[in-house]
Amino acid sequence: MPAVPPIRIEVVTTFLEDQSAPQEGRYAFGYTITVLNDGVQSAQLLSRHWIITDANGKVQEVRGDGVVGEQPELNPGQGFRYSSGALLETPVGAMYGSYHLRAADGQQFDAPIPVFRLAVPGVLH
């Protein structure tokens, strides 16, 4: 049985000042994720699992089918990019999680999403 495809995940985050209300404890962040298939067989992204933590230690857990309403098929060498967002009650937080995928040969596997920081510019040095 061939190995499951290596999945590489790249993340870029932004603070959404126009959607935030710090005086009300609402900090909006956007993130753009690129999911890349570095393997030799295709894989379909079936679901996502996120752990989102703010600076107060409040944890939100999110599970769902696909990403942004899609379950993209990633052919070898291809990527899928999408943007989404998160609301926190503090100016700093972090996210991590995993995608659950099915390889072309039917094997199902998880691709870890490394932790990334959500922070208002200038808050951290």
**Considering the domain boundaries, does residue 20 fall inside one?**
yes
**Considering the domain boundaries, does residue 2 fall inside one?**
no
pLDDT tens digit string along 104-122? 999 999 999 999 999 999 8
**Considering the domain boundaries, does residue 125 fall inside one?**
no
DSSP state of 30: E
Domain tally for the chain? 1
**Considering the domain boundaries, does residue 124 fall inside one?**
no
**Considering the domain boundaries, does residue 58 fall inside one?**
yes
pLDDT tens digit string along 30-51? 999 999 999 999 999 999 999 9
Q: List the CATH number of the domain containing 37.
A: 2.60.40.1470
Q: Model's pTM, two decimal places?
A: 0.92
| Calpha distance 19→75 (Å, rounded) | 35
| Calpha distance 31→19 (Å, rounded) | 14
Q: What domain range includes position 109?
A: 7-119
**Considering the domain boundaries, does residue 1 fall inside one?**
no
What letter represents residue 108's amino acid?
Answer: Q
